[in-house]
Amino acid sequence: MESLGYLLEGFSVALTPENLLWVFIGVFLGTLVGVLPGLGTPATIAILLPITINLNPATGLITMAGIYYGSKYGGSTTSILLNVPGESSSVVTTIDGYQMAKQGRAGPALGMAAIASFVAGTFGVLGLTLLALPIARWALTFGPPEYFALVFLGLTSVVFLAGSSVIKGLLSAVLGLLLATIGADIVSGENRFIFGQFQLLDGIEFIALTIGVFALGEVFVNVEKPIGATLFKVPKRLRDLLPSRQDFLDSRFAMAQGSVLGFLIGTLPGAGATIASFMSYVVEKRFSRHPERFGKGAVEGVAAPEAANNSETGGAMIPLLTLGIPGSGSTAVMLGFLILYGLQPGPLLFTENPEIVWPVIASMYIGNVALLILNLPLVPMWASILRFPYYVIYPAIILISVIGVYSVHGSMFDVWMLLLFGVLGYMMRKLDIPAPPLILAFVLGPTAERAFRHSLVMSQNSLEIFFTRPLSLALLAIGVVLLVLPLYGKARQLRRNVVEEEV
């Protein structure tokens, strides 16, 4: 248990008044900038980097940790308040979070997001401290067949996100898969569907698609309605602006499974916060006693993905610190921190330089705590943004969306894509086709395809490989069951209706 000792030592190094001041500044600025859609965590850190560059390394690191968590939280904030996901890991939060906001429960949603993130972050750090080495080795046994099976499981869970109509959900997912094929195919090297536009070589920009379909789609649909004065009712009492005891009770399972699931998925290099948040949401819905509440403002629907995308960071630090492998976007950022301060992460970092590594981990945790302390009191302030009338908020959403999308690559092409997808989002909403399956398929499709084709390379084109490896077989079986079960239930119902009609 010497790791625990190191962790405590790390805390003692990180916790100085100066550092504490800076981490709060980092959290505040991170949230503010993270609120702007399109500015995901890496971009936020890039923007705020000049502030940290003149600080001493330890303080700089802790400030960056604050910025990191702040920007993640900022992303969740816009997901909940404006239905505009700040980054891919907050897409799932929009499903129930925005519904809660519409019902005047933005405060509890925001508060629950912060608390779930905190709980999961704690779990993540503890897991990292106690389980790093054995989990690292386990994670390595995940090869392409297992990745495919995992992502297949994720894709079949689309059925659970589909809402009322399974067909429409599948339609949305297939559309997402189609859009995901655009770009350079990594396995064959061919450029698919780019129509000669080099801007499409890397595929459709995720932020343009997501913000277009969610935010602009929403704006366009609402433009048709007669203008009302206020957007949502925002309660005045402070008590209603924070999560209630009932919310906590409802979310406890969500926070637990979100933490564990997020952590485990985080340890797999290449599987990141997006998959973690989707899976956690789906598991929560599947095992809930009231699955019909999901999609209509269930607080667990916010707690689960928020927990998952936070503990994912802890999990992703395991391959980073034990093998020098950045597991996902969040740790690529972390890798950047470490390199910036002259550290070369690799298998030896953990064992040879514990005095550097543990203060870093401790700093991450302190950032997490600072986030909670700072943002909970500010929840009423954020929630009161919704007091503005439609005619202020919607132009603001459009403005922020365009700026956010443009800022990714400095390209007007992306902005036109944004508008195009806004129209798509509008059409989907009119036709009652759910948007989350499209995004899910868009994000997971390429991973699934790549893993599948890699598996075939490994097995020299034999499909056996999926079934001879136990873990892959197990995951695939669960996926098939998940896919078939609801359809089976519907078939039975259909037959019953037919029988009733005949009678």
Partner 1 sequence: MNGPRTVFSILVMLMLILAACGETAQTGEPTDAAEPTDAAEPTDAAEPPEDTTAFTTDLEIVVHSGPGGGNDTLARAMAQILLDEGLADTLYPVSNVEGGSGAAAMAYMAEQAGEPNTWAVHTSVWLSTPLTLGGDAVTVRDLSPIAQLVEERAVLVVAASAPYETLQDLLDAASTENLIHAGGSVGALDHVNSLLLQDAAGVEFGFLSFPGGGERVAALLGGSAHMMIEGARDFIELEEAGEVRILAAFSAERNPVFPDVPTVAEATDLDPPFVVERRGVIGPPDMPEEAVNYWAGIFEQMMATEDWKVYEEESGFVPSFGGPDVHASNLAEQEETLRGVFEDLGLIE
Residues that bind partner 1 (CB under 8 A): 32-33, 36, 42, 46-50, 139-144, 184, 186-191, 196, 198-202, 269-270, 319, 323-327, 332, 336, 344-349, 381, 384-385, 387-388, 392, 396, 400, 403, 407, 409-411, 450, 454, 457-458, 460
Closest of 311, 350, 374 to residue 118, by C-alpha? 311
Closest of 34, 45, 398, 412 to residue 205, by C-alpha? 412
- Cβ nearer to partner 1, comparing 57 with 324: 324
Give dist(CA 132, CA 349) in Å, integer: 13
Closest of 73, 469, 444, 451 to residue 282, by C-alpha? 444
The DSSP letter of residue 204 is S
- Cβ nearer to partner 1, comparing 75 with 163: 75
Nearest approach in angstroms of CB 107 to partner 1 is: 15
With contact defined as beta carbons under 8 Å apart, do 313 and 364 qualify? yes
Nearest approach in angstroms of CB 101 to partner 1 is: 15
With contact defined as beta carbons under 8 Å apart, do 458 and 144 qualify? yes
Nearest approach in angstroms of CB 192 to partner 1 is: 12
- Cβ nearer to partner 1, comparing 149 with 435: 149
The contacts of residue 313 (CB under 8 Å, 6+ apart) are 121, 124, 266, 273, 330, 331, 334, 364
- Cβ nearer to partner 1, comparing 43 with 119: 43
- Cβ nearer to partner 1, comparing 37 with 301: 37
Q: Alpha helix (H) ranges present in 157-270?
A: 158-161, 166-180, 206-211, 217-223, 245-266
* Joined tokens for residue 65: 């940790």
Q: Is the dihedral of CA 301, 294, 261, 214 positive or negative?
A: negative
Nearest approach in angstroms of CB 213 to partner 1 is: 21
SS3 160: helix
Nearest approach in angstroms of CB 489 to partner 1 is: 38
| Radius of gyration of the chain measured on its C-alpha atoms | 22
With contact defined as beta carbons under 8 Å apart, do 121 and 373 qualify? no
Residue type, 95: I
For every residue of 276-319, DSSP letters joined together read: HHHHHHHHHHHT-S-GGGTTS--THHHHHHHHHHHHHHHHHHHH
Nearest approach in angstroms of CB 163 to partner 1 is: 33
With contact defined as beta carbons under 8 Å apart, do 279 and 307 qualify? no
- Cβ nearer to partner 1, comparing 92 with 465: 465
Nearest approach in angstroms of CB 330 to partner 1 is: 13
* Joined tokens for residue 471: 């873990």
- Cβ nearer to partner 1, comparing 57 with 336: 336
Nearest approach in angstroms of CB 355 to partner 1 is: 18
Nearest approach in angstroms of CB 255 to partner 1 is: 29
Residue with tokens 């997901």: 79
Query: How many residues are recorded in the chain?
Result: 503
Closest of 87, 116, 174 to residue 375, by C-alpha? 116
Nearest approach in angstroms of CB 392 to partner 1 is: 7
Nearest approach in angstroms of CB 345 to partner 1 is: 8
- Cβ nearer to partner 1, comparing 135 with 325: 325
Nearest approach in angstroms of CB 436 to partner 1 is: 25
Nearest approach in angstroms of CB 201 to partner 1 is: 4
Distance linking the first and last C-alpha atoms of the chain: 70
- Cβ nearer to partner 1, comparing 30 with 217: 30
Q: Which helix (H) or strand (E) holds 230?
A: none
181 φ, ψ (degrees, to nearest 5): -75, -15
SS3 227: coil
- Cβ nearer to partner 1, comparing 198 with 237: 198
Nearest-5° Cα angle at 158, 174 to 97: 115
Give dist(CA 378, CA 389) in Å, integer: 21
Give dist(CA 490, CA 496) in Å, integer: 10
- Cβ nearer to partner 1, comparing 14 with 81: 81
- Cβ nearer to partner 1, comparing 28 with 69: 28
- Cβ nearer to partner 1, comparing 227 with 396: 396
